[in-house]
Chains A and B, each alone.
Chain A
Amino acid sequence: MTTITLQPDLVEQVNQVAGITGIVDTEVLIGEAVREHLRRLRREKLKAEIAAFESMHANLKEQYLGQFVAIHNGEVIDSDVDFEAVFLRVQARLGHVPVLIRRVGAKPQMELRFRSPRLEWTEQ
């Protein structure tokens, strides 16, 4: 556990918001806020890497078709046919830094299909 010092006005805001939302433990509230912020930062970085992937796609297709590539700061830093292998190598090298890992397919965008419609039985 690490102790972090917050500015008094922020502590006051946290306590007030915690009271409104019914979250008794302010550490939980702060933890959730930090997690949410990190998630947003992570997504922003991934979006930049996705833009890089899509702009490089024609070249990537020539070299890596059918493989997963890891894109960090707009560059390919790893590749493999195995997603797990790429993920573990990138994690060992960069820790939890957000890195795009995407399979190079015929099209730049990854498109998934879900072909299982469900019946909803209506009551007569």
Chain B
Amino acid sequence: MSYHLYSGDYYPPFPVAEIRLGTPGKETILGPLEALIDTGADATLIPLVYLNQVNAEEVDQAGMRSQWGERRVVSIYSVALEVDNHHFSVMWVVGDELGSEIVLGRNVLNRLRLLLDGPAGLVEVWETGGRPM
């Protein structure tokens, strides 16, 4: 089990985890990078500047919609992703051409055991992984 303090760069503080990225099917080479934990996001969002550094491969396009319906077309990439000690040799993620934040969405979060301890401002990442989403 590993721990992370909520990020105080946000108000209210944001639960975060640490990730590393790599070329799909290989070891991770980039990181550690801070990632926001967001169960409201269907998918994981990673700035293109990081995906380009690890030669992530574009495999699809999708529509991405916000809470109030704004829609944009985004590209889906495959990448090797590590969240603390959980290694996913190939994971699909959304490439973010504009933003600089990494957002861990439910396609990754649903494969992890996490405890969000709000009052303590602490994220616990447990050892056991899950099945693919």
Contact = CB atoms under 8 A, between A and B. Distances in A.
Contacts of A8: none
A82 B52 CA distance: 24
Interface size class of B (residues with CB under 8 A): 35 or more
B119 interface: no
B10 to A, nearest CB: 8
A112 B63 contact: yes
Interface stretch (B1-9, B85-93, B121-129): B85-93
Nearest to B36: A116
B83 to A, nearest CB: 15
Interface size class of A (residues with CB under 8 A): 20 to 34
A39 to B, nearest CB: 7
Q: Is the interface of A mostly helix, strand, loop or mixed?
A: mixed
B94 A112 contact: yes
Given A88-B90, A110-B63, A111-B65, A116 B57 contact: no
Interface of A: 35, 39, 42-43, 46-47, 50, 81-84, 87-88, 91, 96, 98-102, 109-117, 119, 121
A84 B92 CA distance: 8
